[in-house]
Structure 1
Amino acid sequence: MKRIILALILLVNINGFAQTHNTELTPKETVQKFFEAFHAQDTVKLKNFAVEGTKLQSVSKDAEGNTKLSTDDYSKFVKSIASIPAEASFEEKLHEFRIEENGLLATVTTPYSFYYNGNLSHCGVNSFELVKFNNEWKITYLIDTRTKENCN
């Protein structure tokens, strides 16, 4: 009887431990943590949010009103974050989250306003594509729009 009680206690403790230490983030929490690292200029954490080869694209209009699509590697983005001067302040304010999750794939869309040194620089929408690898969401693709118009 003592062995049965001991076994039950161990099972309850193991199960309780597993539930209280679950660190799996949702797609929304992954994007939120990405922006926390972004604002802190924490390049080590930023690297961990994406898979190798992740592409970033940005859509904007040039001076003549033509649509412009620029592409960069995620690693170049991380390096650029590290190069922002310490005296500069920047903040990307997210206005809402739109999330579609289907098994191993998720899309998180976030309208935003970007401020540099306290001044509105531009606004737009981010669209994150995430894939779940070993119970962890990773960014595989990020595209955003950038405009200076209608940023209210």
Structure 2
Amino acid sequence: MKFCTLLFALLFSLTMSAQQSEKDEVKATVERFFEGFHKGDTTIIKETISDKIIMQTAFRNREGKDVLNSDDANKFLNAIATRPDDQKWDERLLSFNIQVDGNMANAWTPYEFWFNGRFSHCGVNSFQLFKDNGSWKIIYLIDTRRRQGCKE
């Protein structure tokens, strides 16, 4: 009986350790994405995303209507690559909530966005990732953007 309990505890511990390792890899992928974003380095960003990534933003427009906007990944990458040197984009992730099931993961990251040192807006990013040949890739990114209800 003691052997069964010990074996169960060992297997449970190994499973939890593997799960945490996967979560750490997902977090590292998201952090690497933002490293490229902040540096204006699309090569770094491309390491973290699928070539078929879907990008969307959910927001409320000035008339109070909820809007879902689809973004073109190439336009996003071009905006990063051609950002003027005098512009500093600083997206500060406030926390991570990561879920993993096999080769699929989700990272939920509340954030604040600062433009040239001034607070601009806040929201949440929701990243969907797929483990492709041993490497986590962002396949879907949707974010919210608002100015009300932010901690700032």
Question: What is the TM-score of this pair, normalised by structure 1?
Answer: 0.81
Deviations 1:88-143 (A, max 9, x none): 11100000000000000000010000000111111000000000011100010000
Residue equivalent to 2:53: 54
Matches within 5 A, 1:89-104: 89-104=88-103
SS in 2 for 1:28: helix
Task: For 2:93, give the aligned amino acid.
Answer: L
Task: For 2:78, give the aligned amino acid.
Answer: K
Question: What is the TM-score of this pair, normalised by structure 2?
Answer: 0.81
SS in 2 for 1:26: helix
Matches within 5 A, 1:119-138: 119-138=118-137
Structure 2 residue ranges without an equivalent (≥5): 1-23
Residue equivalent to 2:27: 28
SS in 1 for 2:67: strand
Task: For 1:90, give the aligned amino acid.
Answer: W
SS in 2 for 1:99: strand
Structure 1 residue ranges without an equivalent (≥5): 1-24
Which deviates the most, 43-52 or 61-70? 43-52
- Structure 1 residue runs of 4+, over 6 Å off? none
In the alignment, is residue 81 of structure 1 matched against residue 80 of structure 2? Answer: yes
Q: Distance in 2 between matches of 1:151 and 1:83?
A: 29
Contact in 2 for aligned 1:47/1:75 (Cα 8 Å): no
Task: For 2:94, give the aligned amino acid.
Answer: H
Q: Distance in 2 between matches of 1:135 and 1:73?
A: 26
Task: Report the Cα offset of residue 70 of structure 1.
Answer: 0.6
Structure ID, larger Rg: 1
Task: For 1:149, give the aligned amino acid.
Answer: Q
Provide the aligned length of Structure 1 versus Structure 2: 128
Residue equivalent to 1:67: 66
Q: Distance in 2 between matches of 1:54 and 1:107?
A: 14
